[in-house]
Homo-oligomer: A and B are copies of this chain.
Amino acid sequence: LYGTTDSSKSGAAFPDDDLRRLLQQLVRTGGLLEPGHQSHDHDGLRASPSEVFALGELLEAGTLSQQELGARLGLEKSTVSRLAAGLEQRGWLTREREADDRRLFRLGLTDEGQHVAQRIGDHLRGHHTQLLNQLTPAERAGLTLGLTGLVRALKTHHDRAEA
């Protein structure tokens, strides 16, 4: 995309064309989170990718406010609001007003929610492991190194835009 054609016009010569192409392919194939599907079955349990992530974050953190969850997920507070409402309705999540500061909701997993999070987490782990096992050790090492740098670059870019 925007790769081979007319590199003369931009004048500068972009040496990392290959890398850019790869990123685009990656984003498009998407498959990192089992793609295309906007929702997702594990053992008969249905959850959207964001719901899956949310359960994972809560399993890891114990309890979170909606804001905190939103920050971890990279989602708007409004999205988190509806997300949490949905999970609550399915009985996977509890929302209790904080005693100290009643503006906050404290989100936590129910017993069933923990069970679900655990099952889905295992499923995802397995899927990812299977994918990564198809890479050579050198590819895995390179990916780790490269993505670390890329995340750092994106983060500074993002932070700069906020200020």
- 26 A–B contact pairs at CB < 8 A? A1-B53, A1-B56, A1-B57, A2-B56, A2-B59, A6-B118, A10-B122, A14-B129, A16-B140, A19-B147, A23-B128, A24-B53, A28-B53, A29-B154, A29-B155, A31-B154, A35-B154, A134-B152, A134-B153, A134-B156, A135-B150, A136-B149, A139-B145, A143-B146, A143-B149, A144-B146
Known: A29-B151, A135-B150; 14 extra A-B contacts, CB below 8 A, are: A2-B59, A2-B125, A14-B128, A19-B147, A22-B147, A28-B53, A29-B74, A31-B158, A35-B158, A36-B74, A131-B157, A134-B156, A135-B146, A135-B149
Q: A142-B141, A151-B26, A153-B134 are in contact. Are A129 and B16 (CB under 8 A)?
A: yes
Chain A residues proximal to chain B, CB less than 8 Å: 1-6, 9-10, 12, 14, 16, 18-20, 22-33, 35-36, 53, 56-57, 59-60, 73-74, 118, 121-122, 124-126, 128-129, 131-132, 134-136, 138-158
Query: How many copies of this chain?
Result: 2
Query: Is there an interface contact between A125 and B29, defined as CB atoms closer than 8 Å?
Result: no
Query: Is there an interface contact between B147 and A143, defined as CB atoms closer than 8 Å?
Result: yes
A contact face: mostly helix, strand, loop, or mixed: helix
Which chain B residue lies CB-closest to A75? B28
Query: Is there an interface contact between A29 and B131, defined as CB atoms closer than 8 Å?
Result: no
What's the least CB distance linking A124 to chain B, in Å?
6
What's the least CB distance linking A107 to chain B, in Å?
16
CA of A160 to CA of B57, assembled, Å: 30
Which chain B residue lies CB-closest to A55? B2
Which chain B residue lies CB-closest to A1? B56
